[in-house]
A and B are shown apart, each in its own frame.
Chain A
Amino acid sequence: MNDIKREIKELLVHGLRLQTRPEDISDTMPLFDDGLGLDSLDAVELVVLVNKQFGVQIKDMNEGKAAFGSVASLAAYIKEKQGS
């Protein structure tokens, strides 16, 4: 699980070209708005990146909202989908 979280943080920083370091992102920090500051344009890019990197497709709003809460929730979502 920690490996997935680390990979997600690197994906966020490099894939979305964030001006921060992966180690500065906490597992529970909200990804959008006041947390990491991502917006709806980033969301589309993040879904594409997650699909490319982990082979996991986020298909609907409910799944997206739950998965994109934080690094921890995204990691849990990816792990669940990869296991199913």
Chain B
Amino acid sequence: MKKTGKQLGPMFFYLMIFIGGQRLAYLVLHPVVLAYVVCSTTIHKRLGPYVNRRFPHGSWLHKRVQVYQIIIGLGKMLIDRALLGIKPDSHFEGTFEGLDRLQDILDSGSGAVVVLAHVGTWQTAMAHLAGLNTKIHAIMAHNEEAMTKHFYEMGRSRSFQIIDAQGFMGGMIEAAAILAKGELVLIMGDRAEGGQTMPTQFLGSPINLPVAAYNLAAVTNTPIIIAFSVKTGTTSHTLKIWDIIHPHFAGREKKAELSRCVSRFSKGLQDYVEQYPHQWGNFFDIWQQ
């Protein structure tokens, strides 16, 4: 029954898009999400770790409203994604804040490690990078790969190659060779997929964040570009460069430098969720990783 529901849900929205386009699908989304937020306990368990930290002083009702808004945001992104599949000629405006800074790095002959997070339109963010005059490679776990593959099969030609995060040394060796050629490597910085982590603070609580990206950048002498995507309007989104770090191991001690990097990432992500609290896309308790 649950499986049938999961299959029927997207089909229903595809039908709405087909009949009335994005506007009708957005309109129908509200009562569907309201029913879901009122009836489902799962969604509150999944988003609770984030909502309770992001809105610590909110009442029970206030937190329910935040969950509703997050799911509405996510639903709109999924509708946009489906719209691109059903009507590939749909107009979406994508901008890239800080493109010139990244282009300068690439023009100097260096590669770069772009660290993203599961926020905003993170899948479309990858498409923003397609305009750069270099090859792009994304280190991904199977679940992210499947999601992204689905998105690109829906109508967008994939502009990047995937490196398997479950491969040899988490794909880091392949990534190091790519960086040496002056190309881009994308890594999600908010989920630990079995590699080493380092503790830091996020929204007032301790959290362990993966360090592989910063280690890779330090050993290959390439910069870290922290970038997050934002849905800015009904048909617009942007990718913003939040921070640029140049990790460097001066001596045998690596922990201090890696700790500095995860803290900068965490600070950037915290700034992001303060500005865009409802563009959270992590349905997983990242404080427990």
A residues contacting B by CB (< 8 A) are 16-19, 39-41, 43-45, 47-48, 51, 57-61, 64
**Is B177 positioned at the interface, with any CB of A under 8 Å from its CB?**
yes
**Is B196 positioned at the interface, with any CB of A under 8 Å from its CB?**
yes
CB of B219 within 8 A of CB of A44, answer: yes
> A14–B216 Cα gap in the complex (Å)?
18
> A58–B219 Cα gap in the complex (Å)?
16
Contact with A along B102-138 (1 / 0, CB 8 A): 0000000000000000000000000000000000000
CB neighbours (8 Å) of B252 from chain A are: 16-19
**Is B139 positioned at the interface, with any CB of A under 8 Å from its CB?**
no
CB neighbours (8 Å) of A47 from chain B are: 169, 173, 176
Q: Chain B nearest CB: distance from A44 CB in Å? A: 5
**Is B172 positioned at the interface, with any CB of A under 8 Å from its CB?**
yes
CB of A40 within 8 A of CB of B219, answer: no
**Is B266 positioned at the interface, with any CB of A under 8 Å from its CB?**
no
Contact with A along B236-275 (1 / 0, CB 8 A): 0000000000000101101000100000000000000000
**Contact among A39, A45, A57, A60 with B219 in the assembled complex (CB-CB below 8 Å):** A45
Interface majority SS (helix, strand, loop, mixed), chain B: helix
Apart from A44-B215, A48-B220, what are 15 other A-B pairs with CB-CB below 8 Å? A17-B249, A17-B252, A40-B169, A40-B195, A41-B196, A41-B211, A44-B169, A44-B176, A45-B219, A48-B173, A57-B173, A58-B173, A61-B168, A61-B169, A64-B169
CB neighbours (8 Å) of A58 from chain B are: 173
CB of A41 within 8 A of CB of B169, answer: no
CB of B251 within 8 A of CB of A17, answer: yes
CB of B211 within 8 A of CB of A43, answer: no
CB of A57 within 8 A of CB of B211, answer: no
CB neighbours (8 Å) of A51 from chain B are: 176-177
CB of B176 within 8 A of CB of A40, answer: no
Q: Chain A nearest CB: distance from B53 CB in Å? A: 29
> A16–B220 Cα gap in the complex (Å)?
13
> A57–B168 Cα gap in the complex (Å)?
12
> A43–B30 Cα gap in the complex (Å)?
50
> A40–B215 Cα gap in the complex (Å)?
10
- Chain B residue nearest in CB terms to A47: B173
CB of B173 within 8 A of CB of A59, answer: yes
6 contacts between A and B (CB under 8 A): A40-B195, A40-B196, A41-B258, A44-B219, A51-B176, A61-B168
